[in-house]
Structure 1
Amino acid sequence: MEQSNGPIQQPLHAASADPAFVPGITGVVAPLDDAPGPEDEPRDAVVAAAEESDVDADEGADEDAAPAVAEGGGPVFEAADRRGRIVADAEGVRLSYDEEACEFRWDEIAAVESGKGRFGKRFTVTVHTPDRRWYPIEIIAPDRGHITGWEAGLDAVLDAYFDEAS
């Protein structure tokens, strides 16, 4: 017969294993039976909605291919995925991720660092402030070719607006 000499460890029941453990977090609410769903819509409406989303996706691809230009004639950098967004223009740098957002004017920025994952499609931009704080954001590119374009676009904006002497 085999006997353990060490302490008996109970399974971990915490937020890392079960999000329902955290008080205040609620689950997904099921739709009411009275609410109209996609099955209640006529088939023509569903097809029309799908065609509109295809048109929007095609327009987004064209925007990534052409460099953006601000109203004043200077370059604008914009990169986004389903959760995060980076915008850099004459006003400064704006980062947003889900519901969180922050905005930095060019005089508030000490450095802007960008990098790409070695094997993946992740593009990371980190904004450093003079008080030694940094604000990173990671955007997932649709394909690896977009990352090269994003790096070139960000470099163009930094060259145009960022003054390293400040």
Structure 2
Amino acid sequence: MGAVKSPIGDEAQKIAGDVLQGSLIDLIDLSLVAKQAHWNLTGRNFKVVHEHLDEIVALARGGQDDVAERAVAIGVNPDGRARTVADRTRIPQLEAGYLDDDKVVAAVTDILAQIIARFRERITATDEADPVTQDLLIGIARELEKQHWMFQAQT
């Protein structure tokens, strides 16, 4: 199969492609960070936070698939390789070893706030370039903001 012909213009494709790639990296690393915290969590609120982290993982994994498939639909190849994510992530990494539940809640709250800020910038960037991509990002941002609120309420 040859390259997918983009249904949008070259400039719009470039803007949307860059936005989608950045979103993909954020979502892949969010799922990894949340799973790392899930496995190493300790503390009095272990069960609630442990289960809540799995909600973050499910949200991030679903979102990354939607983002990557949108990129392909507009003729852009998504790059979710481990090396790419490691080199380009902007998400602060958690410490190795056991993690206190209060520290995890604070870290995840902060990480979600950072990702939401980037998603909001991407939503603005795609306003004219690609409203379909913008709609996808709005839906993911809505769910990220809901999770941010729920984690923030635990601090």
Query: By the TM > 0.5 criterion, same fold?
Result: no
TM-score by length of structure 1 reads 0.29
TM-score by length of structure 2 reads 0.30
Which structure's relative contact order is higher, taking Cα pairs within 8 Å and 6+ residues apart? 2
**Greater C-alpha Rg:** 1
As a proportion of its length, which structure holds more strand? 1
As a proportion of its length, which structure holds more helix? 2
